[in-house]
Amino acid sequence: MKPRKQPRQARAAATVDAIVEAAARILERGSLDQVNTNAIAKRAGVSIGSLYQYFSTKEGILAALIRREHMQLRENIIEAAEAGRDQSFEEATEALLGAAVAHKLDRPRLHRALEYAEAVLPLDAEAHELNALIVGRVVELFVIHGIDEPKETARDVVALAKGMIDAARTAGETDHADLQRRLKRAVFGYLRGPVSPTIAR
Amino acid sequence: MKPRKQPRQARAAATVDAIVEAAARILERGSLDQVNTNAIAKRAGVSIGSLYQYFSTKEGILAALIRREHMQLRENIIEAAEAGRDQSFEEATEALLGAAVAHKLDRPRLHRALEYAEAVLPLDAEAHELNALIVGRVVELFVIHGIDEPKETARDVVALAKGMIDAARTAGETDHADLQRRLKRAVFGYLRGPVSPTIAR
Amino acid sequence: MKPRKQPRQARAAATVDAIVEAAARILERGSLDQVNTNAIAKRAGVSIGSLYQYFSTKEGILAALIRREHMQLRENIIEAAEAGRDQSFEEATEALLGAAVAHKLDRPRLHRALEYAEAVLPLDAEAHELNALIVGRVVELFVIHGIDEPKETARDVVALAKGMIDAARTAGETDHADLQRRLKRAVFGYLRGPVSPTIAR
Amino acid sequence: MKPRKQPRQARAAATVDAIVEAAARILERGSLDQVNTNAIAKRAGVSIGSLYQYFSTKEGILAALIRREHMQLRENIIEAAEAGRDQSFEEATEALLGAAVAHKLDRPRLHRALEYAEAVLPLDAEAHELNALIVGRVVELFVIHGIDEPKETARDVVALAKGMIDAARTAGETDHADLQRRLKRAVFGYLRGPVSPTIAR
DNA sequence: GATGAATGAGTCTTCATTCAT
DNA sequence: GATGAATGAAGACTCATTCAT
């Protein structure tokens, strides 16, 4: 599943990108089982032979695609977290949520499909690692701002945000601002901590 | 994808059940693409011919399995909701969360795999319907107890609970009580409504 | 391919007929490969088990159907030939042609399909025999009326008539009288014997 | 049923030809239901995968074979008809009959089987077109030579000739000259027109 | 006798991957 | 390096036939 050879020339790198993006496009308007190597090669404008020059298996292509997306999300998150160090808690939280929303609602069908592909491929490790990174940044934020039980809280906040974003994606929502408003409400509500049964008026 | 033949004899009904459960078992310890008709038949202890007596396509089997699980969750939810009418808001909410947790953490790998299968099969309609049912019951509960904006709130609460349950499942958690405690915290926190940025001081 | 048991009771005979006719009906509005034993049983209103009580193989059913049709044509021809003994040559010829036309244009799709089935099943012997019978009757007629080379002539007349009837069937013609007029023209023209190249005006 | 991929290399063209010819060979010494893709591939000395590179379905192979034969007959007929313009009526007629006889008695079993295959596949249109071409050429000939009712006459002449040729094929005749003599007799006899019942005296 | 559930050999077809040119 | 022809294992599905009830 490792790339077969490192593309040394720019042309080769372009070919690799074309192949990965072709897989993304097919996933985007079909399902995982419509992604076959011949289709990828055709869409990438490359012969099947060339495709196998750069990837030794079909899974390798999907893995590359997943890594590409992981990397992007990772960068967005890191960037938001860096910035957050100089911001208020509210601003920092919003920035992190915004990074997640932006990433997932961009090419929603692709990310939906990849979520499953991730589970099927032996990439659990990488997925876990990414999740750990995200949770880690949230923990960091929580620690800075004195939130109790930062680890458990961070884990749950990430999970509930993910659930809401996924549901929004499934429902075809496109209004980032509205989604982010509700996310904020959920997150800050959760942070309020254990609630007395009487809250409900 | 429709069942091909109604089993008229008890023997036939047993065959149908065996086939559906065999598909579940395979999904449980493999992935969707390991579910093939030969494997299902073998695992069900049935000939491939018998399988096709009752299901016209492979998808039909998965659809039957999904419907079986839907039905179960539906019943759990309805039951919890009925009971909730005579309970306090807190108790009623706990009952609904409990129904969801119990269903999803029972056979976690199966439900993980089915979630994707659902997306791939043309069962969106049924999935939507089930989701609508669940959200509907939550709305009902919220209305009774005077929660503001019951519809949007219900949708978001269901989504965030789903996100947390899925994450727990992925993480291999098995402690229902702990998960439920955190769910309650998240839900009641969310219900507190918009929070001033200063809480987290 | 022999009937498995002789139906001793009227009810049984009716079942056998129903099965054979069901096969005919399916052939009539489908092709040979749509004729399968389950479809036949269903259409005959009989269980697959019962079907196999009367026919040991699928081919047996088709063979019975072919024999039924052969028998009918055979009887029509014999009857016409008998009558022809007391008629003029022209009348006798018309009667024979009429018998053939009536048989083939009745249920044309069925007879089209059976023609091929005959070739596939090992029924060449019976088909040959029927053809020999028909040619034989024509030879008889020709001998009585002093036609030269009665055998070769009969064979060719039967063949050309068959060709014209088949073409009419394929073209979907239904006007028996017109077809018969042209057949007569062809047959009597042929009987005129070797032609000088100058005939054509 | 359309060819899937145009062979671009000579090697590929050879593969396509081998597949079509393999189907012909199997039909020639078996029946239509012995023509299965595995058998074709094996006989063609080609893998099943290669077969499906060029034909999207089994029917596509048969269609290609039928078209190949149609094309050949079409060319023979056109050639004969062209030549006939400078010939006497008798010569021209003989040439057309010769073309038909040569085509059908060459590989008789193959042409027998294809006739049925044609009826089963959705190639009626092409078959009709070929028939129309043939009848058209005969009409042309008849018009030039002043035959009455050229259309009806041509249609019937083609049909009766087909009938005689088919019968000869079925009977296993191989003497082209003798068959052609009888065909000529039949055709010119038919052209003599309506006959008085007294000829046969 | 009848029923219909069960069987499994046999077919079609796809698609990841290899390799000759 | 690139191309695309070729491969064949694998999987979906059919249907003639058997047999327990």
Q: Does residue B47 approach strand F to less than 7 Å at its CB?
A: no
Q: Is A55 helix (H, G, I), strand (E, B) or coil?
A: strand
Q: Which residues pair with D55 in a beta bridge?
A: D3
Question: Which pLDDT score, from 0 to 100, does residue A127 have?
Answer: 86
The DSSP 8-state label assigned to residue A33 in this structure reads G
Which residues of A are less than 8 Å from B32 in CB distance? Answer: 120
Question: Which pLDDT score, from 0 to 100, does residue D43 have?
Answer: 95
**Which of B125, B116, B106, B121 shows the shortest CA–CA distance to B165?**
B106
Min Cα separation D84/chain C (Å): 15
Report the percentage of chain C scoring pLDDT > 90: 70
Q: Is D3 helix (H, G, I), strand (E, B) or coil?
A: strand
Q: Does residue C9 approach strand E to less than 7 Å at its CB?
A: yes
Question: Which pLDDT score, from 0 to 100, does residue D200 have?
Answer: 39
Question: Which pLDDT score, from 0 to 100, does residue D143 have?
Answer: 95
Question: Which pLDDT score, from 0 to 100, does residue D199 have?
Answer: 40
**Which of A48, D124, D31, D4 shows the shortest CA–CA distance to D19?**
D4
Q: Is A3 helix (H, G, I), strand (E, B) or coil?
A: strand
Q: Which residue has the tokens 């000259």?
A: D177
Q: Does residue C38 approach strand F to less than 7 Å at its CB?
A: yes
Question: Which pLDDT score, from 0 to 100, does residue B197 have?
Answer: 42
Query: In terms of CA atoms, which chain A residue is nearest residue B171?
Result: A128
- Domains in chain A: ranges and CATH: 10-56 (1.10.10.60), 65-191 (1.10.357)
Is-contact D47 D37, C-beta < 8 A?
no
Taken in order C133, C137, C139, C143, the sign of the CA dihedral is: positive
Residue D35 φ then ψ, to 5°: -85, 95
Question: Which pLDDT score, from 0 to 100, does residue C136 have?
Answer: 95
Is-contact D162 C159, C-beta < 8 A?
no
- Alpha-carbon torsion, ordered B112, B115, B117, B119, to 10 deg: -150
pLDDT at C124 over 80: no
| Residues of A engaging B, defined by a Cβ cutoff of 8 Å | 31-33, 88-90, 112, 116, 119-120, 145-147, 152, 155-156, 158-164, 166-168, 182, 185-186, 188-195, 197, 199-201
Per-residue pLDDT band for C184 (boundaries 50, 70, 90) equals very high
- In Å, what is the separation between the CA of C3 and the C1' of E1? 17
Per-residue pLDDT of chain D (201 residues; tens, 9 = 90+): 667 777 667 778 889 999 999 999 999 988 888 999 999 999 999 999 999 999 999 999 999 999 999 999 999 999 999 999 899 999 999 999 999 999 999 999 999 889 888 888 888 888 889 999 999 999 999 999 999 999 999 999 999 999 999 999 988 999 999 999 999 999 998 887 654 444 433
The DSSP 8-state label assigned to residue C29 in this structure reads T
Q: Does residue D4 approach strand F to less than 7 Å at its CB?
A: no
Question: Which pLDDT score, from 0 to 100, does residue B40 have?
Answer: 97
Is-contact D160 C187, C-beta < 8 A?
no
Residues of chain A with pLDDT under 70: 1-8, 193-201
pLDDT tens digits along B146-169: 999 999 999 999 999 999 999 999
Q: What is the pTM of this model?
A: 0.86
Question: Which pLDDT score, from 0 to 100, does residue A194 have?
Answer: 57
Question: Which pLDDT score, from 0 to 100, does residue B107 have?
Answer: 94
The DSSP 8-state label assigned to residue C105 in this structure reads H
Q: Which string of DSSP letters, residue by residue, matches B75-124?
A: HHHHHHHHHHTTS-HHHHHHHHHHHHHHHHHSSHHHHHHHHHHHHHTT-H
Q: Is B3 helix (H, G, I), strand (E, B) or coil?
A: strand
Identify the burial level of A61 via C-beta atoms within 10 angstroms of its C-beta, where 0-12 means exposed, 13-18 middle and 19 or more buried.
buried
Mean pLDDT on C70-78: 94
**Which of B163, B97, D169, B114 shows the shortest CA–CA distance to A159?**
B163
Q: How far apart are CA A135 and CA A85, in angstroms?
A: 16
pLDDT at B195 over 50: no
Q: How far apart are CA C152 and CA C135, in angstroms?
A: 10
Higher pLDDT, B121 or B73: B73
The C-alpha angle D177, D180, D183, rounded to 5 degrees, equals 155
Token pair recorded at residue C53: 């009580």
Other CB atoms within a 10 A radius of the CB of residue D128 amount to 12
Mean pLDDT on B110-115: 90
The DSSP 8-state label assigned to residue C3 in this structure reads B
| Cβ distance of A163 and B168 shorter than 8 Å | no
Question: Which pLDDT score, from 0 to 100, does residue D197 have?
Answer: 41
Residue B148 Ramachandran class (φ > 0 left, ψ -120 to 50 alpha, else beta): beta
Q: Does residue B33 approach strand E to less than 7 Å at its CB?
A: no
| Cβ distance of A197 and B88 shorter than 8 Å | yes
Q: How far apart are CA B86 and CA B91, in angstroms?
A: 9
The DSSP 8-state label assigned to residue D55 in this structure reads B
- Of D88, D147, D197, Cβ closest to residue C197: D88
The most distant pair of C-alpha atoms in chain C lies apart, rounded to whole Å, by 67
Touch test D–C: 3 Cβ pairs or more under 8 Å = yes
**Which of A20, A68, A65, A69 shows the shortest CA–CA distance to A40?**
A20
Residue D3 φ then ψ, to 5°: -55, 145
pLDDT tens digits along D56-115: 999 999 999 999 999 999 999 999 999 998 999 999 999 999 999 999 999 999 998 898
Question: Which pLDDT score, from 0 to 100, does residue C194 have?
Answer: 57
- Of B33, B189, B195, Cβ closest to residue A195: B189
The whole-angstrom distance between residue C14's C-alpha and the CA centroid of its chain comes to 23
Question: Which pLDDT score, from 0 to 100, does residue B130 have?
Answer: 93
Is-contact C85 C95, C-beta < 8 A?
no
